[in-house]
Amino acid sequence: MSLMSKDISEIDAYLGAGDTLDERMMLAQGALAGFELTSLIYDFTPVKYDHEGRLVTPAWLSMRNLPADMIKVWCEDGLYQIDPVQQLAFKTHLPFVWSYRADGKTPLNRILNRDHGPVIDYVHDSRITCGVSVPVHMPNGECAVVTGIRQDAGHDFEDVIDKHVADFTLFAHVLHEKIYPLFDEETLSARPIHLTPRERECVSYAAEGLSAKEISLKLSRSVPTVVMHLNAAARKLSAANRAQLIARAAHYRLIG
């Protein structure tokens, strides 16, 4: 189905015909031909970076019409962390066309370097060197990226896709609005660091300025127990002191 030049309500109705995440992604895949694209990626992460500045593996990632091993290679073998398309998507609010080809003149070509070598080799081997990505940054720090790819793209890809970018951007935003409400609590709360409920409670009170003794009175627990929970949280977050503990807990949105 071609969704080019359709309005929001028509795209919404088309994607809404699916009841599940997989069904909506399948419908989205079926609409790609109208944008002269062949493959689709949607990824979602509640927290974009860890406290050392590395990309956090997405809580939910779906790929359509792409190599069977790509999710494993990206999420388990670490290519996601060095994916330059993802790095660029996290730094811009604008959709962008990208190309890994030596003659490409896209924003991606300006940042490619030898650190991206494994990704560059993979996309060339898989013939998925060109595409367009639409970042969706949410007010609470969550981020989704919708990417359309053209397998075996011709040398005129950048000129061909240019006329579709606006329509694909609208489509991508509506797709996100149809996918996001179906995420379960585990996906929405996924964090690279896990604190127990008691650890989070103690850190939350510490963030309010309470001492270990004051927290112990709040929780009806001994001071050594509170200190134990705070120290455990500090170890998990590699925090050297209480200020760093609170800052990193806030970074991962482990405290409200």
Query: Is residue 153 within 8 Å of 129, Cβ to Cβ?
Result: yes
pLDDT digits (tens, 9 = 90+) for 182-218: 999 999 988 889 999 999 999 999 999 999 999 999 9
Q: Is 70 exceeded by the pLDDT of residue 4?
A: no
8-188: in CATH 3.30.450.80:
yes
Alpha carbon distance 18, 24 (integer Å): 5
Phi-psi bin for 253: left (phi > 0), alpha (psi -120 to 50), beta? left
Burial 99-124 (b: 16+ CB within 10 A, else e): bbbeebebbbeeebeeebeebbebbe
Q: Which of 39, 38, 56, 35 is nearest to 47 (CA)?
A: 56
Coil/strand/helix, residue 5: coil
Alpha carbon distance 59, 151 (integer Å): 26
197-251: in CATH 3.40.50.2000:
no
| Tokens 């091993």 belong to residue | 69
Considering the chain, what is the average pLDDT of its residues? 95
Determine phi and psi for 61, rounding to 5 degrees: -140, 125
Query: How many residues would you count in the chain?
Result: 256
Burial of 131 (0-12, 13-18, 19+ CB in 10 A): buried
Alpha carbon distance 59, 72 (integer Å): 14
Please report the pLDDT score of residue 146 as a whole number.
98
Give the percent of the chain with pLDDT over 70: 98
Comparing 48 with 6, the larger pLDDT belongs to 48
Domain boundaries, the chain: 8-188, 197-251
pLDDT digits (tens, 9 = 90+) for 58-111: 999 999 999 999 999 999 999 999 999 999 999 999 999 999 998 999 999 999
Does 197-251 match 8-188 at the fold level? no
Please report the pLDDT score of residue 190 as a whole number.
87
Alpha carbon distance 214, 218 (integer Å): 6
Query: Is residue 4 within 8 Å of 167, Cβ to Cβ?
Result: yes
Report DSSP letters for 42-81, one per residue.
Answer: EEEES-SB-TTSPBPPPSEEEEESS-TTHHHHHHTSSTGG
Residue 7: which pLDDT band, with cuts at 50, 70 and 90? confident
Beta strands in the chain (DSSP E): 39-45, 60-64, 96-99, 130-137, 143-150
Q: Is 80 exceeded by the pLDDT of residue 3?
A: no
